[in-house]
Structure 1
Amino acid sequence: MNIIGRLTRDAQIRTTSQDKQVVNFSVAINESYRNKQGEQIEQTIYFDCSYWISIKVASLLTKGTLVELFGRISARAWTNTDGLPKAGLNFHTSRIKIHGGSQKLTSIQVTENTENSKVVTNNSEDDLPF
């Protein structure tokens, strides 16, 4: 599955108790549709995302950057400190494509290689046919 949205905060690197590093970030997706009454409804969906393949990408994932993520979704539920039930969506990211934002790059794609990960940069200025 893939989702496209903007980062709501800079990515953070966290180390687990098993000494594995993960990149955590949050993405907001804006969606609009018309209800049965014909009213335009604007809705924002937030995903907490994790990327386990390489921490190199963390410096590119800054607040406001437009990203396309490939991976799978899971839901989680918990009770907050006030005893109220809460729920959230997690996106377990396997591939990241950065479309723009604070970087001056048109497109960056982060892919998994069997031995290590790599960052592939695509500059559209070089790809123009004229």
Structure 2
Amino acid sequence: MNITGRLTRNAEVRILSNEKQVVNFSVAVNDSYRNKQGERVEQTTYFDCAYWITPNVAILLTKGTLVELIGRVSTRAWVNKEGEPRAGLNFHTSQIKLHGGSRRAETVQAIEQSENSGFTAQGIEDDLPF
């Protein structure tokens, strides 16, 4: 499944008890439709996202960044402290594409490939003259 939206906060890297690292971030996906009265209705859906492949992409995932994600959706339900039932959507991300600049998209691909090939992503710099 693909979703496209904007990050609602900067990504965070968490280290789990088994020493695995996961990048957590949240994405807002905007949609609109016309109801029976012909009025335009705006709707926003929020996804809590997890990315397990490499924690290095967290530096690129900042609030407001437009991203296209490939992965799968799951739901979760819980009862909050006040005893009210709550629900949310998780998106288990397998690929990330940044929009708004081809250089940033290339950087994500380079980071993902470096993780698979054993190289580090520290050598990736922006070589623009300004």
- Counterparts of 1:36 and 1:18 in 2: how far apart (Å)? 52
The TM-score, its normalising length taken from structure 1, stands at: 0.81
SS of residue paired to 1:108: helix
Amino acid at match of 1:27: V
Q: How many aligned positions are there?
A: 118
Deviation at 1:16, TM superposition (A): 1.1
Percent identity (aligned): 64
1:49 matched to 2:46? The reply is: no
Q: Which runs of 5+ in 2 are unaligned?
A: 125-130
1:39 — aligned with what?
A: 39
Instruction: Spell out the pairing of 1:6-45 with structure 2 (5 A cutoff).
Output: 6-45=6-45
**Quick check: which one's helix share is greater?**
2
- Greater percentage in strand: 1
2:94 is the alignment partner of 1:97: no
Instruction: Give ranges in structure 1 of 5+ residues lacking alignment.
Output: 122-130
Q: Where do 4+ consecutive residues of structure 1 move more than 2 Å?
A: 109-119
RMSD: 2.3
Work out the CA distance in 2 between the residues paired with 1:7 and 1:72. 17
Q: CA deviation at 1:37?
A: 1.4
Q: Aligned partner of 2:27: which letter?
A: V
**Structure-2 residue corresponding to 1:125:** none
Q: Structure 2 length as normaliser, TM-score?
A: 0.81
